[in-house]
Structure 1
Amino acid sequence: MNSPSLPVDSPAPGAWEELVTTALLGTDRRTLPGCPPGQEAPVALLDLAAVETVRRRAGLRPARAAERPQPAPEDPRPALPPAAARRLALLLADRPGTGSGRRGSAPDLMELLPQWLAAANERGFAPPPQALPALLDAARGRTDLRPAALTFAGPRAMWLARLNPDWRFALRTAPGGGAAQPALEDPAQVEQLWQEGLFAERVALLAAIRAREPSAARELLATTWATERAEDRLMFLDSLRNGLGPADEPFLEQALGDRSRNVRATAAELLSALPGSALAARMAVRAGACVAVDHTGDAPTLTVEAPHECDAAMERDGVVAKAPPGRGERSWWFGQLVEAAPLGTWPGRLGGRTPDEIVALPVGDDWQGELHAAWCRAAVRQGDAEWARALLGSPAAPEAGGPGAVSLAERAKLLATLDAGERAEWVAGFIATHGLSEAFQLLGVCAVPWGGPLGRAVVDALNIARDAGSYPWSFSGVMGLAERCLDPSEAGRLDGLLAIPDEPEDASPGATGYWAESFQRLVTTLRLRATMIAELNGSEAARA
């Protein structure tokens, strides 16, 4: 190893630092002691570095061997059918495009992955172990994918997440940080975890008990309520939404006096969702005093007298005193009172009229928008389908809104109170009258797959838009939604739309080609979705 220029003396203490400094500066600017400058100097430097490296390594004491990780837990679920396993590998191997703005006619496989995961979870399959790293990588990049991906990945995902920092999100996302829940039948284990567990573990424990025995969860929360942090009290209180009932009222009434404004507001919201609660009765009296029927004109009219102040009792019941910028204080207070009042009290206060008749009454002094918007929020909060129908009105009405439908977002929330069939029928009527340009939010609340009238309405509206020479890119969002939500059986009805029609004179340049390409992608995607389901069902006819 040694060269003729290697100095005889061993390197002094601090020799390694001297070698590093010389290497950084260069042997033409700095030479080692006893080593003359010249062509041999770099060789001598490297030889000395090699000797010192061996010396340093030889002086190290071996470290204690790390404990081997415990074996990965067994996954008792059945394995995927072979064709479905191959399909999963293809879906996970797909990567988003380059963002050129043109999607082409090939299906977007990453957009089909959530649907594939949902179908696999419904059937209770376990993933192939070799697919778990790619599955966790996909979930790492897409937060919307995480719940379904981690459910499908199962207990081995938690095992892997503890070994790879890139996958630690799984520990945060999984209930309780991936920790095993104690046996709920064992009070001692439950009490120990509730007293000593991490916050995520305690939230998961409370949710599990609430789903099984609501009163037991509430009683457990009451044992430590006074000592919890405000932000923790808010999260724990929110867990009472599941299984909310009259038995929760005393606890929630107590929370109305909480020192945290957010906790008080959440408690008031939950109480107002209980039409028989004392808070709901108080709000009914306050809101009822603000609205009356005026019979002095040619036709009955609703009059509004908004509150002139927000007193301490109103604030305790969840009314926020400070109005947001741009809102008048009185209208702000009024809206909160009406939103929290039980809708069932209005017919008795307004002459025995039905919700349809009440909503149809004119409202004086430009209060209609405020009153109806508050009734919309109340219908959503209380899940009142009858009031939701009245406020939605006919889907064929001008601007497709009932008198209370102040925005598409409000309409979407009202639709969520209806059952799936009625919801789809209303949206189909909306699309048949008004087309797809305003329907994106409404379609988002419809159950999938879209079949029957809704699926036909979407396909027909897309065809009409194409024939009219409409600007095609404005429909890309609806087209993407259709690829994921249309019933695969609709693919046959789309075959006639694949040809490129003659381009109208007033059409957007290249529109017909874009439409043909989009319909081709839609048909291909629907057929691929049908194949995916067949593969998960183990059909021999499925092709990977």
Structure 2
Amino acid sequence: MTSVNPAPPAAPVAATATATATEEAATPPSATAPPAAPWSALVSAALLGTERRTPPVVVRPGRSAAAALLDAAAVSTVRRRAGLRPALAADRPAPAPDDPRPVIPPAARRRLALLLADRGGTGGSSRRGAAPDLTELLPQWLTAAQAHGYRAPEALLPALLDAARARTDLRPAALALAGPRALWLARFHADWKFALRATDARAAPGAEDPGAVRRLWDEGLFAERVALLTAVRRSAPDAGRELLADTWPTEHAEDRLLFLDALREGLSPSDEAFLEGALADRSRTVRATAAELLSMLPESAFAARMADRAHGCVTLVPGTAGPSGPRIGVAPPRTCDEGMRRDGVTAKAPAGRGEHAWWLGQLVEAAPLRRWSERFGGRAPEDIVALPVADGWRTELHDAWCRAAVRQRDPAWARALLGAPGAAPEDTGGASGGSSRDPAKLLTVLPSGERAAWVAGFIAAHGLADAFRMLGVCAVPWAEPLGRSVVDALDIARDAGSYPWSFSGVMGLAERCLDPAAADRLDMLTAVTDEPEGASPGAGGYWAEAFQRLVGTLRLRATMLAELADPPDPGSPAEASAPGVPPVSGTG
């Protein structure tokens, strides 16, 4: 028998292969195993199990099929590795680009590392506790750091890219802070390819380089072309429209829709002819978008056509003898004719809507708002809105005016339709009467200070039940009257024995949007109070916990802003805050 020296103990796979070779050497030629089975066959047998598939190996007496399969796999592994040829050395990657922005200060750098490490949140726990939710503070931190003009330290770029991959809402701010080095790094990791696709319109060539613009428009990916069109429209609107007009007939319908939507940037009367042509597009959604853009041009022929149709349906009925004064009469269109359909009016009404009301709403929504004053004898918007509407058409008419005010960004009409914040909710677009108007959208038309004051008055009069979406459109941090009204309403809800979980959304907004300077005067709310009769059991403890979390979050936000305001330390290494993560070298 041939003797074989045992394999060194540091190589278990090689030892298995040697043992198998020893058995083969001791076996007569007639019993030698056939040629080695393909690797794929061994893998299939291992995945399915030897009880379901006979392994393609010789099973000697006294040995199990599983052991024989493992032996064959060990031998095959050695053969596969031994057969590899050394590969030629690849070219080294180009060096990472420079980022001249200052790195964030040391304390803020440590804060970012903590926020990124805690981005998993509280998991599946239903009770948040009194500790601040760092996950919800990360977007605000990124926005504040970007406002200071900082860049992220190189050692934190991998964690920052991971966070942006997991949360799309973080991507714009995270990639802006990460800068060009993150894009360089993303080329080497499949999970970060999203960063390469998130093309910023500001990085696209401008109208001053027509050759580069044309090449990118003809050869670029769809996202790059949309970003390019947006960038060109921003600096030279006519050049952007002409760029789109050159290839318009050959674009796919879904692409035409997004390209047309990009014309909102720099929209002007010079776009009217192109948009009029788009009204004849074969895609219904493209026609509807073209009609919407034309309705934003009050002097366009389209706006005049829609105004004539709407004014034919809505008239001022003079007052008669007696107490009745003037009112608005409504006669909806009887049919949706070819001209209306060409101008973007959808003939088929949604489920639950009457056809005539549906057509009327589309006509009024597209008509220029400023021409209604002429129609109603020079009345101001608030006077027109105050007129009674005959035959139960008030809701349909006012809802259409609300949509028109948002589309045309008309503050006077938005203010009139919102009414006084202390009015009954149904008079400001509440759910009663089947109204579909959205006060939050109307508020976006108003200046930020007026918006906050209106919402503060609404909360003081009606509480927080219907205010969540309104709060979401107010500027951050909330102005003092708005913040005070929110805290007062929460305190009133606690004293009334309300369920604290019903206000968790508003409490979360308050943690992110209240002015951090309010933390000290909110301390008195953190104590556990006596529960009023009829309150839900344990509500007092939950409310105290929620206010403790609110105060703690406000103080943490104040600390975060102070850390970002510290002067950056140019001598501090960028990777000091995240030991163990290799820095991105600028030398390749």
**Equivalent residue number for residue 299 of structure 1:** 325
Q: Larger RCO: Structure 1 or Structure 2 (Cα < 8 Å, ≥ 6 residues apart)? A: 2
**Equivalent residue number for residue 219 of structure 1:** 242
Does the aligned pair in 1 maintain the 2:364–2:404 contact within 8 Å? yes
Classify 1:409/1:140 alpha carbon distance in 2 versus 1 (closer, same or farther; 3 Å). Answer: farther
Aligned equivalent of 2:114, options 82, 90, 96: 90
**Equivalent residue number for residue 338 of structure 1:** 364
C-alpha separation in 2, matches of 1:190 and 1:30: 61
Does the aligned pair in 1 maintain the 2:164–2:171 contact within 8 Å? yes
C-alpha separation in 1, matches of 2:73 and 2:430: 82
Question: Which range moved further: 462-471 or 289-298?
Answer: 289-298
Aligned equivalent of 2:157, options 132, 137, 151: 132
Amino acid at match of 1:365: D
Classify 1:184/1:31 alpha carbon distance in 2 versus 1 (closer, same or farther; 3 Å). Answer: closer
Amino acid at match of 2:24: L
What SS does structure 2 have at the residue aligned with 1:293?
strand
TM superposition shift of 1:104: 0.5
Classify 1:45/1:122 alpha carbon distance in 2 versus 1 (closer, same or farther; 3 Å). Answer: closer
TM superposition shift of 1:219: 1.5
Question: Which range moved further: 303-312 or 187-196?
Answer: 187-196
Does the aligned pair in 2 maintain the 1:83–1:535 contact within 8 Å? yes
Does the aligned pair in 2 maintain the 1:209–1:217 contact within 8 Å? yes
What SS does structure 2 have at the residue aligned with 1:98?
coil
CA offsets 1:290-328 (integer angstroms, 9 cap, x no match):
111222542111110000111111111111111111111
What SS does structure 1 have at the residue aligned with 2:536?
coil
CA offsets 1:340-362 (integer angstroms, 9 cap, x no match):
00010111111221111111111
Does the aligned pair in 2 maintain the 1:5–1:44 contact within 8 Å? no
Q: State the identity as a percent.
A: 65
Query: Does residue 424 of the first structure (1) align with residue 452 of the second (2)?
Result: yes
TM superposition shift of 1:12: 6.7
**Equivalent residue number for residue 282 of structure 2:** 259
C-alpha separation in 1, matches of 2:379 and 2:66: 100
Question: Which range moved further: 331-340 or 467-476?
Answer: 467-476
TM superposition shift of 1:22: 9.9
What SS does structure 2 have at the residue aligned with 1:5?
helix
TM superposition shift of 1:403: 6.9
CA offsets 1:423-474 (integer angstroms, 9 cap, x no match):
0000000011111111101101101101221111111111111111111110
C-alpha separation in 2, matches of 1:501 and 1:300: 56
TM superposition shift of 1:157: 2.4
**Equivalent residue number for residue 494 of structure 1:** 522
Does the aligned pair in 2 maintain the 1:175–1:200 contact within 8 Å? no
Aligned equivalent of 1:146, options 171, 178, 184: 171
C-alpha separation in 2, matches of 1:131 and 1:467: 46
**Equivalent residue number for residue 99 of structure 1:** 124
TM superposition shift of 1:46: 7.2
CA offsets 1:224-255 (integer angstroms, 9 cap, x no match):
11221111111111001111111211111121
Q: Name the Cα RMSD after superposition.
A: 2.8
Does the aligned pair in 1 maintain the 2:429–2:437 contact within 8 Å? no
Question: Which aligned pairs between 1:278-427 and structure 2 lie closer than 5 A?
Answer: 278-297=301-320, 298-399=324-425, 401-402=427-428, 410-427=438-455
Query: Does residue 72 of the first structure (1) align with residue 96 of the second (2)?
Result: yes
Does the aligned pair in 2 maintain the 1:375–1:404 contact within 8 Å? no
Amino acid at match of 1:116: W
C-alpha separation in 1, matches of 2:381 and 2:65: 97
C-alpha separation in 1, matches of 2:449 and 2:222: 40
Query: Does residue 484 of the first structure (1) align with residue 512 of the second (2)?
Result: yes
What SS does structure 2 have at the residue aligned with 1:79?
coil
Does the aligned pair in 1 maintain the 2:57–2:72 contact within 8 Å? no
Question: Which range moved further: 221-230 or 378-387?
Answer: 221-230
C-alpha separation in 1, matches of 2:344 and 2:494: 50
CA offsets 1:490-525 (integer angstroms, 9 cap, x no match):
112201111111111121111111111111000000
CA offsets 1:108-140 (integer angstroms, 9 cap, x no match):
000000000110111111111111121122122
**Equivalent residue number for residue 494 of structure 2:** 466
C-alpha separation in 2, matches of 1:249 and 1:447: 34
Amino acid at match of 1:5: E
Amino acid at match of 1:204: A
What SS does structure 2 have at the residue aligned with 1:292?
strand
C-alpha separation in 2, matches of 1:259 and 1:324: 21
Query: Does residue 244 of the first structure (1) align with residue 244 of the second (2)?
Result: no
Q: Return structure 1 stretches of 4+ with deviation > 6 angstroms.
A: 10-13, 21-24, 29-33, 39-49, 403-406
Does the aligned pair in 1 maintain the 2:287–2:344 contact within 8 Å? yes
What SS does structure 1 have at the residue aligned with 2:438?
helix
Unaligned runs of 5+ in 2: 1-5, 7-17, 569-576, 578-588
C-alpha separation in 2, matches of 1:43 and 1:463: 71
Aligned equivalent of 1:14, options 5, 24, 35: 35
C-alpha separation in 2, matches of 1:515 and 1:355: 44
TM-score (norm 1): 0.92
Query: Does residue 270 of the first structure (1) align with residue 293 of the second (2)?
Result: yes
Amino acid at match of 2:134: L
Question: Which range moved further: 304-313 or 63-72?
Answer: 63-72
What SS does structure 2 have at the residue aligned with 1:447?
coil
Amino acid at match of 1:72: A
What SS does structure 1 have at the residue aligned with 2:196?
helix
C-alpha separation in 2, matches of 1:246 and 1:55: 74
**Equivalent residue number for residue 111 of structure 1:** 136
Question: Which range moved further: 119-128 or 394-403?
Answer: 394-403
Question: Which range moved further: 310-319 or 152-161?
Answer: 152-161
Report the number of matched residues: 536
CA offsets 1:407-433 (integer angstroms, 9 cap, x no match):
686111111100000000000000111
TM-score (norm 2): 0.85
Does the aligned pair in 1 maintain the 2:373–2:380 contact within 8 Å? yes
CA offsets 1:46-94 (integer angstroms, 9 cap, x no match):
7776565444433333334444333322222110000000000010111
C-alpha separation in 1, matches of 2:56 and 2:407: 81
C-alpha separation in 2, matches of 1:455 and 1:49: 69
**Equivalent residue number for residue 204 of structure 2:** 181
TM superposition shift of 1:44: 9.1
C-alpha separation in 1, matches of 2:363 and 2:535: 51
What SS does structure 2 have at the residue aligned with 1:302?
strand
C-alpha separation in 1, matches of 2:146 and 2:436: 32
Question: Which range moved further: 368-377 or 39-48?
Answer: 39-48
Question: Which range moved further: 166-175 or 353-362?
Answer: 166-175
